[in-house]
Amino acid sequence: MIERVAQFARSAPGPAEAVWALVGLRLVMGVLWLANLAWKPPPDFGRDDPEGLLYNFRLAEEHAVLPFLRSFVEDVVIPHFTLFGWLVFLVELTAGVLLTLGLFTRVGALVGTVEALIITLLVVRAPNEWFWTYVMFIAINLVLMLTPAAERLSVDAWLSRRRER
């Protein structure tokens, strides 16, 4: 058993293993985006939830990284809460579905990267927020955007094989 562990530790993964690792990362990120929707479902987006979307917009109003973002949240986002609730929901749903299915994977990862950057700028300085959560979301989405994460177990791969015929 120890020899097998040592052998595994010495061996380098090949291209096939790396692709499957990216598939796993893509699926995990897609599911994370979809799971993130659970606390802000339409039509009220957790308006009355003590930690719902409105609560997070209020955090952004006080703690956004840049002053103009705090003003934007206060003057535009919160007064039009339902509109922005739908925007957030649809953006995160899009990232989650595209990444999970591996459909237009790079677009899904780009959407996820932009959304993660926006969330970071809005709430990373809020009390009890863990900075590394945001770094992880940005980094994983960037990796998926810049690598062949849709080569296996994806609609993109299936469509590519069909085009080659």
What does the domain layout of the chain look like in residue ranges?
59-159
**How many angstroms separate the CA atoms of 34 and 5, rounded?**
35
Element holding 84 (H helix, E strand): helix 81-101
For residues 2 and 136, what is the distance between their CA atoms, to the nearest angstrom?
A: 33
CA distance 147 to 20: 12
Q: Please count the residues of the chain.
A: 165
Could you list the pLDDT tens digit for every one of the 165 residues in the chain?
888 877 776 777 778 888 999 999 999 999 999 999 999 999 999 999 999 999 999 999 999 999 999 999 999 999 999 999 999 999 999 999 999 999 999 999 999 999 999 999 999 999 999 999 999 999 999 999 999 988 889 999 999 888 887
* The pLDDT value given to residue 17: 84
Cα distance between residue 148 and residue 22, in whole Å? 8
Q: What is the pTM for the complete model shown?
A: 0.90
Distance between CA atoms of 53 and 57, rounded to whole angstroms? 6
Residue 26, classified by CB atoms within 10 Å of its CB into exposed (0-12), middle (13-18) or buried (19+), is buried
Instruction: Identify whether the C-beta of residue 60 lies closer than 8 Å to the C-beta of residue 69.
Output: yes
Distance (Å, rounded) from C-alpha 119 to C-alpha 111? 12
pLDDT at 15: 81
